[in-house]
Structure 1
């Protein structure tokens, strides 16, 4: 009798490499031995230092966090696995204990693939063996294919292997502050140095050239067991000769070398041999920490995502990437550009899928506009979605029918964006609102009305719509809208003055005695609103000043101030300070949001150290100075 459960397992596995590379008969034999495991959210599948299992794993349903663990810190997620992803490959290639944790991020069903059953097929099928070896070495879901790299799933029935792509990998992270000792240093002294410096190895050198290496594993196996006394010289227990490489080593090369020689550390020397001065060291742990998520991998995953659920999971991986960038102190401009592109691709993919689900194609050309922080390339955390839609002018009798189509589309898109993690805008400033789903002529008329009326509400709406970026559709429509906006602003000093008054509605957030001004009542009482009192004043100032110069296509606040520094050399120092403060405040808010798992807007000042408070006060001094310039230039005090 046919085992129906095994058949279903085989059907599932056949959709994902390396199983898709196997003969069906072999796959059925493996499926018969697969162990089906159910885990609730937050359950550990395996933990760091745990003895390796007799299985490796594939996610059938749910999601699994892979976490690095430092002895003195909380576990940190470095990657996420979802449907079809394999993990826990270490038992296939190394006898050491696990180096990371695998913990379920949500309720999950996991297939455990028995090693003793699977190994013979991996050995007999070179494609399967090569796939797994490179997947383990490079930490990529599919190491062979540029098109599919990043996930063990392909849209095609077959994978085309691209050998030239095997080693298109990142450069190795090198630790330059390693601990070095001479061969006659006592084991005890070397161990004390390792403990004090919190490292897992020492390099034994003679005349600055590496002659050996000792790891904490060596100390455990050779000294703690009593084989060598702690007073003996370290040279007695060192591993020699040392495997060395030069600075250009890649992650794939390093991991393959470690597996080949059964080592956990590689020395970096000037010429890649033990005959020159040691310049750094690479450990297996450092490689693991460095990998995390790759933006190119995530972009490809977004572009082929076949469900909103998958886009949501990718979004969580983007947050892991963001956290890693911040911890690595990557410049915020670089971070913002990458996260913006990933967010924008997510929005685009969502729109594509929603159009495909409608019965008919769009009745007219259109453009989807992202507003607010996403439009400024400053949306790093999960914040509200602000968007609008402009469509081509159509005959009057077709206008409402056309609008109805785009409202239906926008409703689908905003609903899915909400599922992914972009909250609905409380003010309903979204394309699903008929007020913000207009033809090009209607949008032009709307902006003319806002600029002419110039009431507080109209000014607020103008501010939001001055910060937009096209996420999908016909760029000619948004360009035409921009041209119209700048045309009606030409010579309109009254409007700029009103805009200046709005830019001053949130003064410098420091009190008379240079104390932070916090919320006085409500559920946020005694918390500091960094968006309202820090980010927004600079955003409003940059927008106002760049509009006066009629500069198009620069919506990012920091970039606006950098451009202003070029346009007004006499205020260059102030504008550059504003650009820096804008980046610093956004970065600070992002860190707080990731730490507290919220949007980072409200901060408990008691949690801040002295250094952070000093940095914030410097930013707020810049806010005061730029607002003083606005007051003088626009005589804005008369409008407050």
Structure 2
């Protein structure tokens, strides 16, 4: 290669799919035919409904926002950044652009002639599979996971999937319809009045055809068909019908396969079944605009706290959607936790930018409790702490005051986003929980070697810390110190075990739920204290006893214990299953009642629901018996 620019393009493309599977000759041909485009912020690449260009695009630098226009509103759908391809689907399908694309910051694009890619697709099966998979999913490297795309969701790797693809696709339950004898003019007037882009032609409750805006443009506005003709003369027929349970991925595949933009939803999915709804490409676009990767991209590019709050609210909607679709709770927890951590990171970034100077020393922001365990699905109050490097005595006050001021900004912003302040002030803005490394070591050592009731309670909160931002070495040194303190005072584990048995198994002698005796939650069942916490406490204690580091999540702790104690694997597997069921149940309760989901009115439960909950209680009883025997706790209770 003598062309220096082509060489640079070649070196860039070879690291991104589908170019990374091309041979040298194919990639060189593309590289030498690429046009380089520099865009200032706000520059439009193409507009919605515009005819496709002769090129598709890959982002070299910067970011391109994709937007969908609807009812005079511009809806953000996604951000394309380095290595992302966009504008390809209309070229392959010979259709107009479904979205607008414009630079959200200074950007450099590579414009790639589609004809060259089409030639390569014909001879390169891997590229062909990539294009098909990328149209049917929102996965950035779909060819690497095409099998998983249609596999059993319980076996999916959450690091490589977009759960949006496995949700039941959204559709309109009130499709606009007319009879086959309706004139085109009347149908167009109905579509305009209802502000929709399609109308279904119905005969005896069955859909026999469809007219879209595209039909009106190509067949009527051009003068080919008079507007006075019946709709049957221009309708597309037969329609493609699917069932209401079709997933987003399946819907996209069906549209691509038949080169259509609408699907008819019928009772049993067949053409001869009653029409119950219609699904459009727009419905899928809206759903994908609320997917995890899209939300995280939005967060990373948010310019103010209002935008972060908006995304946090969208995350709550995403959670509701996942719960409705019965997505595996372990995956849901990972996704929501990742978004929560990204929200926290953005808030810390904003707060650091407001500080007059850079941090005087390295520090770390620690999430505690359920966020630290990556089990915070519902929006609850804050639990966090801050650790900073040791400093000379004369610099201590100035350094601590700096981090207290920073922590106050972070806590305030998290509150604005929607995370309530901790009623017990268990937050980094509290001087008690904003400490240097040596102070934290001394604090944990004190709790461990002088295990009072309060000290044990603090351990159950702070032992689940997780570094969200900052210096990992500080946290590693702290963890090492904690295990050293436990080694020097092994009876501490017995005290921790005693605490794990505070709440007895959730069923009484007559297999009745143990409910609260008094207070505002009298006669309600405490799902957190009586069911979830015994499992959380047991997993924490047992992993500490094995000195298993970097294991904060309850499910991951039990999975690690299975490897350490294969003789107890059946018990630990049952604990995992029980924890998943209880976590899902609490989340659904919280969504239903718009609260923490902690307390349950038993009279609102059906008998099957009660039986399912009771089925989770045996592992709790068994794990508590194991702790009782292992740590000889009967002598301490």
Deviations 1:308-349 (A, max 9, x none): 111111101111111111122111111111111111111111
Shift of the 243–18 alpha-carbon distance from structure 1 to 2, 3 Å rule, reads: farther
Mapping of residues 317-466 of structure 1, within 5 Å: 317-466=314-463
Q: Is the 8 A contact 2:383 2:426 kept in 1?
A: yes
Correspondent of 2:80 among 120, 123, 145: 145
Summarize the Cα distance change of 1:301–1:364 in structure 2 as closer, same or farther, 3 Å threshold: same
2:179 corresponds to 1:221: yes
Identify which of 527, 530, 533 aligns with 1:530.
527
| Contact 1:411/1:432 (<8 A) preserved | yes
Does residue 1:590 correspond to 2:587, yes or no? yes
Return the alpha-carbon distance in structure 2 between the equivalents of residues 410 and 248 of structure 1.
Answer: 42
Kindly state the Cα deviation for residue 529 of structure 1 after the two structures are TM-superposed. 1.4
TM-score (norm 2): 0.65
- Do the aligned residues in 2 keep the contact of 1:443 with 1:481 (CA within 8 Å)? yes
Q: Which residue of 2 aligns with 1:61?
A: none
> Does the 8 Å CA contact 1:145/1:160 hold for their aligned counterparts?
no
Structure 1 pair 283–588 and aligned structure 2 pair: CA distance change class (3 A) = same
Contact 1:140 1:151 in 2 (8 A): no
Deviations 1:353-391 (A, max 9, x none): 101101011000001110100110100111111111111
Moved more, 285-294 or 560-569: 285-294
Q: Secondary structure at the match of 1:472?
A: strand
Q: Give structure 1 stretches of 5+ with no counterpart.
A: 1-16, 24-88, 94-121, 176-198, 202-214, 268-273, 275-280
TM-score by length of 1: 0.65
**Superposed displacement of residue 288, structure 1:** 6.7
Change (3 A) 1:473 1:262: closer
* 1:65 counterpart residue number: none
Cα distance change of structure 1 residues 476 and 396 upon mapping to structure 2, 3 Å threshold: same
Q: Which residue of 1 aligns with 2:137?
A: 171
Do the aligned partners of residues 433 and 151 (structure 1) sit closer, same or farther apart at CA in structure 2, a change above 3 Å counting? Answer: farther
Corresponding position of 2:503: 506
1:292–1:324 CA contact under 8 A, matched in 2: no
Distance between the aligned counterparts of 1:125 and 1:381, measured in 2?
Answer: 45
Q: Decide whether aligned partners of structure 1 residues 614 and 154 sit closer, same or farther in structure 2, where only a CA change above 3 A counts.
A: farther
Shift of 1:153: 8.2
The answer to which of 470-479 and 512-521 deviates more is 512-521
Partner Cα distance (2:466, 2:488) in 1: 25
Give the number of aligned pairs: 472
Matched, 1:294 2:229: no
CA shift in 2, pair 1:621/1:221, >3 Å: same
Deviation at 1:637, TM superposition (A): 2.2
Q: 2:105 aligns with which of 147, 151, 156?
A: 156
CA drift of 1:123 comes to 7.9
| DSSP 3-state at the match of 2:441 | helix
**Which residue of 2 is the match for residue 194 of structure 1?**
none
| SS in structure 2 of the partner of residue 141 of structure 1 | strand
Distance of aligned partners of 1:233 and 1:528 in 2 relative to their CA distance in 1, 3 Å threshold? closer
Q: Secondary structure at the match of 2:518?
A: coil
Deviation at residue 414 of structure 1 after TM alignment: 0.6
Instruction: Report the Cα offset of residue 289 of structure 1.
Output: 8.2
* Cα shift readout 1:160-179 (whole Å, capped 9, x = no counterpart): 5877999945539x99xxxx
Contact 1:293 1:321 in 2 (8 A): yes
CA contact (8 A) 1:450 1:458 kept: yes
Relative to structure 1, the CA distance from residue 336 to residue 169 in structure 2 (aligned partners, 3 Å threshold; closer, same or farther) is farther
Q: Deviations over 1:534-587 (max 9, x none)?
A: 111111111011111110001011111111112111111111111111121111
The correspondence of residues 229-268 of structure 1 with structure 2, limited to 5 A, is: 240=237, 263-265=262-264
Write the deviation string for residues 35-71 of structure 1: whole angstroms up to 9, x where unpaired.
Answer: xxxxxxxxxxxxxxxxxxxxxxxxxxxxxxxxxxxxx
Asked if the contact 1:266–1:282 (Cα under 8 Å) also holds between the matched residues in 2, the reply is yes
Q: Distance in 1 between matches of 2:465 and 2:564?
A: 22
Whole-angstrom distance in 1 between the partners of 2:591 and 2:603: 18
Change (3 A) 1:140 1:559: farther
> Which of 513, 537, 540 matches 1:540?
537
Which of residues 603, 607, 616 is equivalent to 1:606? 603
Q: Distance in 2 between matches of 1:233 and 1:538?
A: 53
CA distance in 2, matches of 1:248, 1:582: 29
Report the alpha carbon displacement of residue 243 of structure 1 after superposing the two structures with TM. Answer: 6.4
Distance 1:489 1:200, change over 3 A: closer
- What's the CA shift string for 1:179-235, capped at 9, x where partnerless? xxxxxxxxxxxxxxxxxxxx999xxxxxxxxxxxxx9867x524999x998599989
Aligned in 2, Cα 1:528/1:152: closer, same or farther, shift over 3 Å?
A: farther
Q: Secondary structure at the match of 1:631?
A: helix
Q: In 2 relative to 1, CA 379–358 (structure 1 residues): closer, same or farther, beyond 3 Å?
A: same
